[in-house]
Amino acid sequence: MLLADQGQTWKEEVVTKEAWMQGSLKDSCLYGQLPKFQDGDLTLYQSNAILRHLGRSLAWHQPEQNLTRCLATDAGLYGKDQREAALLDMVNDGLEDFRRLCSQLVRHNYEEGKAQYVQELPRHLKPFETLLSQNQGGQAFIVGDQISFADYNLLDLLLKHQVLAPGCLDSFPLLSAYVARLSARPKLKAFLDSPEHMNRPLFGARKI
């Protein structure tokens, strides 16, 4: 999602369950799990490490109409200063706690635990509604006035929950508007509407 919205190209290799169960790929992975990300001679594992790397390293300026890659400083995906970077770390860590709860439900306790999870969902959504309200009245991004790596993480999780629990954002007008606003970004919309994205299971093998 981040790479698509930032106009990047990448090669994605989807690993089938059968290929994974053969064991050779799993044995080659540092922690015995995916995703695996390669950027030149840099190999990373762990989703958050990958996301933060992209947030720090992808920034764009446009001298003479030519997009140029540079280190993310005051115009990147990791905030414009140390204060915003600290807030983004806080947001992203909160998102990962939220994502872990969702993953636990989907993988281990879906049939028995879904009703309680949906009942408690507003408690997990409220902090992000609050953060939006504190930043330009919810009309901008989760932190600051430019999109960040945490925005992509939040959007992904909210889109998944709109499938898992339709109507879950009805009581959160800022989050609802946020999803609509970010999803309408042209490159991001094209990615979200693409067959590659549409045909990918939201929660792995679990059918929702």
Q: What is the pLDDT along the chain (208 residues), one digit of tens a residue?
A: 999 998 888 888 888 888 888 889 889 988 888 889 998 888 999 888 898 888 888 754 333 333 333 333 344 799 988 899 999 999 999 999 999 999 999 989 899 999 999 999 999 999 999 999 999 999 999 999 999 999 999 999 999 999 999 999 999 999 999 999 999 999 999 999 999 888 887 776 555 5
- Residue 9 DSSP class: -
Residue 62: the pLDDT is: 35
Please state whether 137 falls in left (phi above 0), alpha (psi between -120 and 50) or beta.
left
179 contact partners, CB below 8 Å, separation of at least 6: 155, 158, 159, 162, 169
Question: What's the longest Cα–Cα distance across the chain?
Answer: 58
